[in-house]
Chains A and B, each alone.
Chain A
Amino acid sequence: MLADIAANLSLGLSIAASPDGFLFLVIGAFLGMIVGLFPGFGPAAGIAVLIPMTFGLEPTIAIIMLAGIYYGSMYGGTITSILINTPGESATVASTIDGYPLAQKGRAGPALVMQAIASFFGGTIGVILITALAPSLANFAASFGPSEYFLIIAVGLLMLTTMMGDNKFKGFISALIGFAVGTIGVDVMSGQQRYTFGSPELIGGVYFVAVAIGLFGIGELLHCIFNGQHRQPAKRLRISFRDKEFWPSRQDYYESRFTFWRGSAIGFIAGVLPGSGATLGSIIGYSVEKKVAKDPEKFGKGEMRGLVAPEAANNAASAGAMVPLLSLGIPGSGATAVLLGAFLMWGLQPGPLLIVNDPEFVWGLIASMYLGNMILIAMSIFAIPLFVKFLDIPYVNVVPVIVLLCVIGAFAINASIIETWILVLSGLVGFAMKKYGYSPAATVLALVLGSMAEETFLQTYIISQGTMNLFWERPVSLVLSIVLLAVVITPIALAVMSRLKGNAAKVNGEAS
């Protein structure tokens, strides 16, 4: 087994580390980081736009470059979440919750370094797990039907409550807004249109990216202007590698030493499952971290662990998503679906036989991911002083740049103006949410997960003739149902128990 892995990897490295392979890997990783920096240009859009650049390359080299764009954008995507509170895609929404407060506290440098390290850690653990476990995990992914998907999404939705902020009622309202927007589009069951008002642009539903950029990016901007931040002089931050403030503190590393592992493991498992892997992984990663923390009240206010967990998770998930893609030919996300299209374009037939028929390709790609992660962490850390410099620019000059980036990002989704209007509208809503303490993160994530939950629930409903017994008849579903119940019941049970204990203590106290 180990000898097999070594042989496979050295075959892969002979391709990935060849001059051509390495050059295009560096180009891909670099482009990926840049793509990630633009709000709205997630990995899927980035790969799709850059596919024509790879025409004329050898298939394996071309895919290595495209894959570099894919996970490279995961590194770049968080930078805007931290600096300007604008997640470029749903997988980095969770990273804004502690990432942006960290930057506001003046710890942008450590936050960016830490997210690069967490990304590297998650990505590398992910590739190691692919190398070792791909065949057995493929069968696991193939055993997931609608009932299992619904349950795992439901777990994700429950986890949302940990990132709603202090006011659960307002968080709940925020999530409901997301669910409501998610109902726009074609009804999955009947094919009838809901709330589209006959507009062909809305048939496909409201794409969450425009909503996310609006709620976070434009909303934050309006809020800052409302507070008069544009009138304040810029803080001069002197950032260089030599400064102690640039690097994360020993305490940061010490406190998050287990967070790296937990985040990576959770993210990888979520990524292997087709669906919304990286998003679910980052939510669950964040949520678990907050649950196990002894000091959960620090989360949401600029806690390093709250950034490390979702970052390790979403990068491990983007690696995990390669498992069903390479071993089953099943894309688990928008980005891997575009990659699958690229496989076909080069005459590679995705499916269980891909690894048998084209081992050079599969192992070359996997080996390139090890190298890619190393290249990316080096690139990120070198580039961080540049990004942090951004905070030096007076706010009044930053505003137009952010608006421009947001509008380009929203327009680029479909090259249609409707997304730009959605952006403007969500920007106004985002401002109001920020002002009155609602949770834009809950809205965006509910929008992404809500329609998936609806679809998979209705599929289960039809298959089981309305009885829902699939949820406990199928073994994997049964396990997930138990987990779900445990998640719901445990906090209630703990609360009841502690109250009983408290009462008992009181009684004892009175007795003594």
Chain B
Amino acid sequence: MIKRRTFTLLAAAITASAVALPAVAEEYPSERLTYTIAFGPGGGNDRMSRTVVDVLRQYDLYSGDIVVENREGGSGAVGFSYVSQKAGDPYRLTSTSGNFIGTPLVADTDWTYADFTPIGLLASDAMLLVVRADSDFVDLDAFVSAANAGRVTIAGSGSAGPERVTAALFAKAAGIEFEYVPIGSGGELVTALTSGSVDAVVANPSEVAGQLEAGTLTALAFSDSARSTNNPDVPTFMELGYDFSFSLPRGVVMPSDLDPAVQDWWIATLKQVVETPEWQEYLVKNGMSGNPIWGDDFATYLEETSAQYRATLVEIGAIKE
């Protein structure tokens, strides 16, 4: 019996040292990386994640294999939950987007943004306030005075999504009232405006890029804190004197409980990624602004955005305090 127990202990000790040793001795990274995408192929999150992975591979920024997997469902709930359960695993990456903040606020998920190690915000997805080019709203002030004189309708996709938050923050800053019309998808959103059913829409730049280029629609203002590198002619709400900004994080996060050295390694690596021409091309194609922030600053940003989002959802009655 004793012999057996000694043997077990010995085996356990050997196993433990075998597991523990490489982490100290070997260089990071030494294993296969799994990049989980919490949404389906072809969508915005998928395109961003695959661009990051392509750049990592093309420039040999990551020495090992990289596996990309789509785990969609429940507006990101499923995929983000999966990654959050990998606490301490330094070989897991995932991309954030609006639902990374929004889904835990409206649904009973087993994770929030705080259950991840923040690496960096690579781009921000802010919203444009768009009107018909032939409408009377020549600029944002004209829109605000029209709202003060009568009644304006603003449409956006979803009832409690970032579009509504942007519209609500703008109305608060301008002291106006408006009717919000939630519309399902991007396509019907554009026709709601072109058909003259609503006065304005809050939209993601990529949803209206074609129409803006063709001159059938005009963007009055942009919700980020700085002008978009893509639509440099469109002023921000802040520039025009409406004191708010709102954007959604297109960033990279990892599971919690990581060695700070791993976090630093990825911050340094992704800083190289955002400098590549391939990444810059991605930003231009998808209508995003690239003003990256890293590590703790990214954590603060996530916290602020979540609080802003939450407050608006409470205000419109979508969730309780």
Contacts and interface: CB of A to CB of B under 8 A. Distances in A.
Contact of A352 (B40, B73, B206, B211): B211
Interface stretch (B4-12, B182-190, B250-258): B182-190
Interface stretch (B58-66, B85-93, B104-112, B296-304): B104-112
Given A142-B195, A353-B213, A416-B78, A149 B181 contact: no
A51 interface: yes
B276 interface: no
B214 A352 contact: yes
A328 B160 contact: no
A351 B209 contact: yes
B43 interface: yes
B19 to A, nearest CB: 31
Most buried by A among B107, B179, B191: B191
Contact of B195 (A145, A324, A341, A345): A145
A203 B75 contact: yes
A189 B188 contact: no
Contact of B159 (A51, A145, A191): A191
Contact of B187 (A337, A344, A459): A337
B196 interface: yes
B159 A344 contact: no
Interface string A319-351: 000001000111110000110011011010111
B175 interface: no
Interface in A191-213: 191-193, 196, 198-201, 203-204
Contacts of A418: 73
A351 B211 contact: yes
B72 A330 contact: no
Contacts of A455: 182-184
Interface stretch (B27-35, B118-126, B237-245, B313-321): B313-321
B225 interface: no
A149 B75 contact: no
Contacts of A462: 153, 179-181
A488 to B, nearest CB: 24
Given A144-B195, A332-B187, A344-B285, A201 B160 contact: no
Interface string A349-362: 11111100000000
Contact of B183 (A187, A198, A201, A459): A459
Contacts of A191: 106, 158-160, 164, 182, 313, 316-319
Interface residues of A, number: 62
Contacts of A353: 210, 213-214
Question: Which DSSP category, helix, strand, loop or mixed, fits chain B's interface?
Answer: mixed
A332 to B, nearest CB: 6
A463 B42 CA distance: 33
Interface residues of B, number: 57
A470 interface: yes
Interface in A21-70: 47-49, 51-52
Contacts of B271: none
Contact of B192 (A47, A145, A352, A415): A145
A18 interface: no
Contacts of A142: 190-191, 194-195
Contacts of A354: 210
Given A145-B191, A329-B211, A349-B209, 9 more contacts: A146-B192, A148-B195, A191-B106, A191-B158, A201-B77, A274-B187, A342-B42, A459-B183, A463-B198
23 contacts: A47-B42, A143-B195, A144-B195, A145-B191, A148-B195, A186-B160, A189-B182, A190-B159, A191-B317, A191-B319, A193-B106, A198-B107, A200-B73, A201-B73, A203-B75, A332-B187, A341-B42, A349-B213, A351-B209, A353-B214, A452-B184, A462-B179, A462-B180
Interface of B: 40-43, 47, 70-75, 77-78, 103, 106-109, 151, 153, 155, 158-160, 164, 179-188, 190-192, 194-198, 206, 209-211, 213-214, 216, 285-286, 313, 316-319
